[in-house]
């Protein structure tokens, strides 16, 4: 089938994992208490805090107070828990950091031009990350190569489901209103690619430096190696350089 949409992961796919792990995560961890103190009554902050409280109450049988939440959220951050409420709060903290010029994401050098060419060629582009849709949008707004949000039509996060769950990709296909076989998913994680293919997606592993190449999916080292007309031909992709 002709590919009509490319859905892609962020970390290890369009930018180095180190930006998220060594810049964004520590920033949110360091600024959490101050941010909550300054914005506790904001509507979005209240929404995510209540969701976190609900989860703790369900799991532990006792609803935490708001004063107890910061320690719980820091523990979740350390565990890299993929909780929608936590990711929503992190996104709000990062928004403040982007606005203050605290950091700017640098994408891999093969990404921006390829995304632009795909967009001009009529492909729909979408992100799917465990980070909130808001955080995804902010990241693309503030890249070192400029604001790339005009290239993307959709942003999917854990509200659609977990990335290793095939049902999540079925929901994405439904929201895109496209046959799953016309959607290509790009990620560095084999388990995510497995789930996507179970849902009928085409899938490809992006093998950046430090990523271990798998054996179950076609691989490409750079976006410039991807020939969308050959998707599905597992043996025709160039080996990582």
> What local confidence, expressed as pLDDT, does residue 233 receive?
59
CATH numbers and ranges of domains, the chain: 5-16+106-225 (3.40.50.1000), 20-99 (1.10.720)
Q: How far apart are CA 56 and CA 17, in angstroms?
A: 29
Mind listing the pLDDT tens digit for each residue in 16-37? Answer: 999 999 999 999 999 999 999 9
> What local confidence, expressed as pLDDT, does residue 107 receive?
98
Mind listing the pLDDT tens digit for each residue in 32-63? Answer: 999 999 998 999 999 999 999 999 999 999 99
Mind listing the pLDDT tens digit for each residue in 206-236? Answer: 999 999 999 999 999 999 999 999 887 544 4
Q: pTM for this structure?
A: 0.86
* Three-state DSSP class for residue 146: strand
154 beta partners: 126
Cβ atoms of residues 49 and 89 within 8 Å:
yes
How far, rounded to the nearest angstrom, does the alpha carbon of residue 69 sit from its chain's CA centroid?
25
> What local confidence, expressed as pLDDT, does residue 40 receive?
87
């Amino acid at each position: 089938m002709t590919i009509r949409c490319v859905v892609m992961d962020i970390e290890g796919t369009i930018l180095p994992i180190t930006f998220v792990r060594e810049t964004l995560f520590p920033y949110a961890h360091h600024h959490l208490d101050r941010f909550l103190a300054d914005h506790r009554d904001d509507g979005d902050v209240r929404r995510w805090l209540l969701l976190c409280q609900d989860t703790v109450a369900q799991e532990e049988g006792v609803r935490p107070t708001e004063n107890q939440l910061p320690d719980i959220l820091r523990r979740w951050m350390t565990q890299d828990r993929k909780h929608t409420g936590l990711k929503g709060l992190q996104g709000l903290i990062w928004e403040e950091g982007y606005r203050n010029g605290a950091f700017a994401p640098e994408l891999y050098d093969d990404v921006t031009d390829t995304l632009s060419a795909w967009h001009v060629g009529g492909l729909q582009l979408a992100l799917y990350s465990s980070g909130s849709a808001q955080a995804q949008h902010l990241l693309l707004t503030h890249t070192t190569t400029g604001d790339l949000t005009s290239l993307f039509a959709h942003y999917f996060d854990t509200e659609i489901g977990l990335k290793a769950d095939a049902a999540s990709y079925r929901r994405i296909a439904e929201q895109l209103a496209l046959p799953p076989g016309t959607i290509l998913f790009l990620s560095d994680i084999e388990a995510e690619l497995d789930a996507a293919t179970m849902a009928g997606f085409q899938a490809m592993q992006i093998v950046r430096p430090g990523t271990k190449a798998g054996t179950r999916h076609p691989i490409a080292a750079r976006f410039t190696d991807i020939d969308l007309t050959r998707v599905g031909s597992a043996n025709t992709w160039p080996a990582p350089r």
